[in-house]
Homo-oligomer: A and B are copies of this chain.
Amino acid sequence: MPHKLFFTSDYMEGAHPAILRRLAETNMISSPGYGTDEYTAHARDLIRSACGAPEADVFFLTGGTQTNATVIDALLRSYQGVIAADTGHISTHEAGAIELGGHKVLTLPHKDGKITATGIASLIDGFWQDGNHEHMVMPGMVYLSQPTEFGTLYSLAELREISGVCRDRKVPLYVDGARLAYALACPENDVRLPDLAELCDVFYIGGTKCGALFGEAVVIPRHGLIPHFFTIVKQHGALLAKGRIAGIQFETLFTDGLYEAIGTNAIKAADRIRSALKEKGYDLPIASPTNQIFISVDDETYARLQQQVELSFWEKLPAGRTVLRIATSWATVAEAVDALIRIL
């Protein structure tokens, strides 16, 4: 093989070929800007339909941090913060984008990347019961990621319970679906797009990590929940002049089951790798059923793997062990999985 194996992440290649083909087909047709074109309109309809949310507002932004910062700033008032797992992407790896927008991330301790309805309820209720709450940051919304940063999943029952806690307290629920295709395609998953549309106030369907060149589809199931969101997107530097480029990509992803196919490819590859890892006696510290697999290895194994395959360093453990991440994607081919399994 001319190149080293890459299992670093799910954004290591370009786009699913069907997307490039569609961009080429439509390339020279003129259309108006800023997402007012017919491709984008069609993409919106396809997403509304996939979500069973015919009235949903749908917007296409370019990346995850941008989407999180824009949605969170749109949902909160200045004195409100967003509840998230202490391992949530917004808590750790967005370089202060949420704070740049003026908001505190109110963290809850995670378990395998997840937070619970009970934890959320306690934080919110504890705030209102605190005699000093008028001097504190009010919890104004909840942020989850599905799958989480650890590749784990909220079950429908868990999501329903969290949604109930949020609705009882009139606190919007937002789900970051940067890798949503890999949740949807996972046999263990029982949260479908219409469930997200029913249970969340806003969520986004990831494109960048799920086969697009870039792009995230923000879905606001109840039309009009965020007035002037177009302008908010523009003000946050998140509005594409050639909005059609995002629209065409999502139109393609939601045509002929492509988004499902992309997820399925990654999950099948991950499942084969997981089986091999277990067979070979590897330690998998997190039971993640999606396209991210975490292994804990000793120094010798680490050194050996590093020579043959690109993986993500995750963290150093005591006693000379290291956690590494193996990620599959829409682009993972069977031959690469075979090669990886031989190496392991």
Interface of A with B (CB < 8 Å)? 3, 6, 8-9, 11-15, 17, 20, 23-24, 26-33, 62-67, 69-70, 73-74, 77-81, 92-97, 99-100, 102-105, 131-132, 134-138, 208-209, 213-214, 228, 230-232, 234-242, 244-245, 310, 313, 331
- In the A-B complex, list the 10 residue pairs whose CB atoms are closest, starting with the nearest: A66-B237, A6-B30, A14-B27, A95-B234, A95-B235, A12-B30, A96-B137, A11-B241, A99-B104, A79-B231
Partner of A132, one of B28, B69, B70, B93: B93
Q: Which residue of B lies closest to A235 (CB)?
A: B95
B138 lies within 8 A of A228 (CB): yes
Supposing A23-B14, A33-B9 touch, asked if A78 and B64 sit within 8 A by C-beta, the answer is no
A330 shortest CB reach to chain B, Å = 11
B23 lies within 8 A of A213 (CB): yes
Q: From DSSP, what is the main secondary structure of chain A's interface residues?
A: loop
B33 lies within 8 A of A12 (CB): yes
Partner of A235, one of B67, B74, B94: B94
Partner of A13, one of B6, B27, B105, B310: B27
A123 shortest CB reach to chain B, Å = 13
* Residue numbers in B under 8 Å from A23 (CB-CB): 14-15, 20, 213
* Residue numbers in B under 8 Å from A245 (CB-CB): 14, 213-214
A78 to B23, CA, bound (A): 35
Q: Which residue of B lies closest to A102 (CB)?
A: B100
* Residue numbers in B under 8 Å from A105 (CB-CB): 104
Q: Which residue of B lies closest to A89 (CB)?
A: B135
A334 to B11, CA, bound (A): 39
**Which of A30, A92, A240 has most B Cβ within 10 Å?**
A30
A8 to B34, CA, bound (A): 13
A208 to B243, CA, bound (A): 11
